Amino acid sequence: MRITTAPLYLLMRLIKAFDRRQTDIKYFNAGAIKTILVVSSTALGDTLLSTPAIRAARKAYP
């Protein structure tokens, strides 16, 4: 793990540890999604290869 991503990873793990919301799929409401954050901390090639997935997410959740 890179030094720059380690604090973000630890923060997300801490948030998940204290999050007590229901995570079962039956509680998922796709209409409630307002924004999606995509963070890429890897090489440019990985970002280019993930572009179709980002486009699909943008199309599924306008």
Instruction: Tell me the mean pLDDT in the region 42-60.
Output: 86
Confidence of residue 38 (pLDDT cuts 50, 70, 90): confident
* Residues 6 or more apart whose Cβ sits within 8 Å of residue 44: none
**Under 8 Å between Cβ of 41 and 2:** yes
Which of the four pLDDT bands, split at 50, 70 and 90, describes residue 2? low
pTM, to two decimals = 0.48
Compute the distance between CA of residue 4 and CA of residue 33 in angstroms, rounded to an integer. 28
CA torsion, ordered 50, 54, 57, 62, to nearest 10 deg: -170
Residue 52 has a pLDDT of 92
pLDDT higher than threshold 80 for residue 7:
yes
Is the confidence at residue 1, as pLDDT, over 60?
Answer: no
